Structure formats: C-alpha cells, structure tokens
Structure 1
Amino acid sequence: MFDKLMVWLAKHPRVLPERVVRGLFLAAADGAWLIRAKSVRQLERNLSHVLAWEKQNSDESSAHTVSHKELRALSRKGMRSYFTYFSEAMSVGARSEEELRARIRGAGEGLLAIQKQTDEHGANGSAPIAMGHQGNWDYDGFWAQFEVAPVTTVAERLANEAMLRTFVNIREELGMTIFLTGTPHLTEQLEDVLREPHTIVPLLADRDLSRHGEFVHAFGSMIRVARGPATIAFDTGLPLFVVNTYREKLSREQHRKAKTPYGYVCEISGPIDVEQYRSLPREEAIHEISQRWVDIWARGIAAHPQDWHMLQPIFAEDLDLTRLKDVPPEVKAQLQQFM
C-alpha cells in the first residue's frame, strides 16, 4: 500500500504541496517509531554500535553504555530523516533547479581535490566515490553535475518493478546515468566510464550481504560492504573519494531559495591513493582499500548518526553466519568473536 502511494506521488508531484507530503511521511515515521516496528528495532541495534563506538573514542570519562532513552531519541530522529528522504524523492519532479541547488552544498577536505581531479577544462580524469545510505544521495548526484562532474551510478534492482522504475526515473530526471545491479559485467562497464574524462561514479556501498561482499571492521564490530568502490579504484588506478551526507538548517536566504528550512551537506573526504597498495596481491589490496574508506566513512556516520538510513541487519551480531556464503575461514573466526 505504501509503495503504491509513493509511486502515485512520484507520478503526480504537483498534486499536493511539499509541506503536506512531508507531513504525511513524518507522521508515518512517528507511527512506526511509536510501535517500535521491526525496522525501527533494527535501526536502534545499528545505532547502538555507532553510539557506543563514539563514546569509547571520545574524551568522555563516563561509561560507554548507551542508555535506552538516548537510543530512542536518536532512532526517532533517524526515522524522521529517513522518511524525509522519501518525501523529497517523491516530490522532486515539482522542484525547480534553483530550489534543488539551494538545498545542498559541498564541503570537506576532498572537495577541491575532486574538483581538480575531474576539472572539465583540464580534462584531468574521473573519480570513483564510496558512500553510504545517508542523507539524500539523490540530491548529492544532482549537485555533483554542476559542482564536480556528471554522475554515473548503480541502483539496486528491486523486486517491485513499479518502485524500481520510479527511483530510476527520479535519478535520471536529476541528471544521472543509471546502471542496475545484476547487469552483466557491471564492474567492467563502470571502469570503462571512469576511463573517460570528467565523470564520477559514486556507489552506495555500506551494505552488501552477497557472496561478493568484503568484511571489514566498523564501530567495534564487522560489516560486509560492497567491493565496488575499492575494485574500480584499484583497477583504474584512480584515487578513491569518500562521501558523507547530513542535514543542516539553512540560512534565511537559502531557506527562501530552497523553499524548505533544511538542506544537506555533501561532505567529501580523501582522496585515498590506491597506488600505495599496488605491491599487494589484488584481493588483499581490495580489502585494505575497503577498510580504509570505511574508516573514513565511519567517522562521518558517528558525527551525524541520525542521518544514516540503515534499517537492515548489517553488523556481525545480527547476521546468520550459517547462511552467508563464501566466507573465508579466517574471517569466520573473526566473526565468531562478535556472536
């Protein structure tokens, strides 16, 4: 039912004012949070790792225990952030270019570096990017075509064909070129794209439970991330950048242009020079590069956990090891310590 509503809203983005659409989605978020739906409970388990890790690595002298109260408060913010993303995605067809550009800005130590790397006039090259399900990644892609380079990315092939087509249409409308997961020789096609000047390939990579995922350490546990960012960076020799996206309150002038009180920051970190891993065997190099970008990304998640939209099992403690395939014995031994 909810999927049908989203498809209908995306096809008729001007029927309802954006504030009404946002209000409907926020009400749904609060309802799910109040009854502690299964997805909310999983979100809280994921966030508990982040909070405990952040406390352990801070200068606080207090215990590293995460209280139920602070976890519930954070999960409510997280659900509202997540559903806000959907309200924005479904109504993007009613937004002008000025409104969208006012809703997101770039920042971070890697911003100038990636702009130089992909400079259109210098035709220096292209750049792969690792990122997670955080903030509004559709806005990231829209912003990037003006401030960095055109975007080619991958969308998950959903079982619901109507929802899949809806999200693909939204991203294409925002100027992105979209491949689907499961496309034959997908990695090779992305690498071919990156061998052309002036383009970027950002990949949502913070969750991959397929047999091809890479196990890395994160937030005092282990998660399985997509190998794509590390693989295409290593194979092409291009530096790998990392993106975190989070919400911010807009200034009065930006609020006027954006027609909404909140926008997003696309924070770019890196680059990670993959050439330093060239002496390693390929599989070991891909693992080390994956761990490196996850270390950078995790700091961004810890700084803005409310905008991490991870409502599925991701940490070793929540995974059924008997159902995971192609896990090396040494990795299984590491995973066992978290059970």
Structure 2
Amino acid sequence: MEKTKNLLDNKKISFFNSVNKQIIILFGLVLITCIFADFYYKSSTLTTPFIITTFVSSIITFIGIPLLKKIKIQQIIREEGPKNHYLKQGTPTMGGIFFIPIGIIISNILYFNNENYKIILTLSFVIMFFMFIGFIDDFLSLKKQLNTGLRSNQKIILQSFISLIFIIICASNNLIPHNIQIANRIINIGNLIYPLGLFVLLAESNSSNLTDGLDGLLSGCSVLIFTGLAITILIENTNNNSTLATLCIVMAGACMGFLFLNKYPAKLFMGDSGSLAIGASLGAIALVSNNLLSLLIMGGILAAESISVIIQVSIFKISKKIKGKGHKLFLMTPLHHHFELKGNNEILIVGGFWFVTLLLVMINLIFFITS
C-alpha cells in the first residue's frame, strides 16, 4: 500500500515538473522572440513591455486569489462535463478581471499622448466591454449556482452591440482597411468588411470561450497567438505597426502572467470575463491590422474547438430527425473534452494543443516571410 502511494506521489511530482518545464519553455520562447524582433526591427520595443506585463500580471493575479476566495467567487462545474472536473469545484474564478485590465492599462500608459494613441484607446474599448459582458455572465452563473449565466441569445446581443459600436468608431476614423490581404494579393471587399468584422469578433470571442476548458489551455495558446500576431504585424511594416505589435505583446504578457497561476492544477480560472476579452482582442487587432487570414491560421485550435461543437450539434440534430435517435461524432465537445474522455491526461492534451498552436504560428510566419 505504501509502495503504491509513493508511486502515485512520484507520478504526481513528474506531472508538475513537466508542467513547469512547459511554462519555462513557453516563457523563454516568447522572450527570445521579443529580443530577436527588437534587434532585427530597430523600431520594435517588445522585450521590456513583455517582461513588465508578465511580472505585474502574475503579482496582481496572485494577490487577487485570496480576495476571490474571501467573497466566494468559485467555479461551478457543469454536471454533464467530464467527471474528473468535479475535483476543480470551488477553484476561484473570474480571474479575467485582474489580468485583462493589466494589459489595457500598460498599453495605454505606453502610448498615452502618442500620435497612435487613438487606435489603442479604440481597441481598449472593445476589449474592456467584452470583459464586462463576461463578468456579467460569470456573476449571474455564481448567483444562480449554475454553470450558465447569460442565455446564448442575450450574450450574442450584447456582443453584437459592442462590436457594432467598435466597427462604427473604426470606420469613422479610417481604422479598418476595406480589403483583405492574402499573401501578395489584395482583395478589395468594400463595405463587406463591416459585416465580416462583426462575424470575426463574435466568432473569435466565442471560440476562445469554448477553448477555456482545461487548466492553462486558452492562456497558453493565447500567449503564442498574440506573439505570432505581433511578429506578423512587424513583418508587414504597415502604419501603426509598432503600436499594434506592442499591444499584442503586452496582451501576451498579461496572459503569461496569469498562466503561472492557471497552469495545472489551476489555482485560478479566468472565467468568461477573461476568455471573451481575449477573443475580442485577437479579433479586433487582426481586423484593424488586416491580419484576418493570419489569425485564422494561428488560431486553428480555437477554430477547431468551435467547429467541433457545431459539427456535434448538427450531426446529433440531423440524425435524430432522420433516425429518431441522435448520434455523436465526438465523445464530448468542445474538442479537448473528447481527448479527455479518450483517456488522455489533461497535461498532455494542453501541451499538445500548445504545440499545434506553435506549429501554426510558425507556418503563418514562414508563409508571410516567403510570400
């Protein structure tokens, strides 16, 4: 019995060590990328903002955990989810209210009174309001003691309203290009960019929300995507390139700082207040910088999570209508739950999804450098 216990303890320690290694590798990879970008692009200043934001985000998030525990802001696990998630019941949630504002505040300080400050202020607006929508959803969920807060249609209406205001502000200040760039080809789509922009913001925020289901999954993927987006913007060398690239790396730092406490076993969850804001920031920055294709490539994991839900629901409804009994393609969606129920360890799934995201980021950068 004692031998079995020791084996389990050793296995547990090796898991924690592997998580810590993943975190160190991820942080080191982003830091090296920032240093190289600052050396290669003389106008680039990514390293210092990344380090400062990561440090501040981790400290503020760490301070916030006991406060959330004190007022009993704790995660409620849905009954239909994987059974091993019941162990996470009671973990503090709504961490997005700590690390998202850190990213916004630091980026505003960096560019206050700068000629490009208008674009930072506009993007701050959409990110903060999506965080607020997530906060309402989290708050109602805790109040009802259920895993659902706002109804789907209520959430979509609020997201659409904020997205429309954002698009109108951008349009009136010529912040949204009326074309889509694919490699060396530029396709002018005129005013269709506005409904496309609305779709991107809704799709990206909800995809991020669906991805946030395992410890460190979304926060780790977000660090990589924000970093990839920053480098893509620098490669393009367009107007406002350094401004938007710095905003991306600051958001990467905010997510990185949060990840130190969100890694397995998570001491804090981000909640919808974090996941919706991350998705909105990715979508809004990609829209303004004309990098929608890059976001689609680098955010492949986010898209796959969302598509898996759409496919599952569609197949279930169609098969039920035709055969009288619903069938499922996946054991459970979003996609990460399917791999969980297949018997895969949570740490391995998260690490695997990070690795796929890293590959997609590299594919995007190679595509841009060679085109």
TM-score interval w.r.t. the shorter chain? under 0.3
Q: Which of the pair is proportionally richer in helix?
A: 2
Q: Which of the pair is proportionally richer in strand?
A: 1
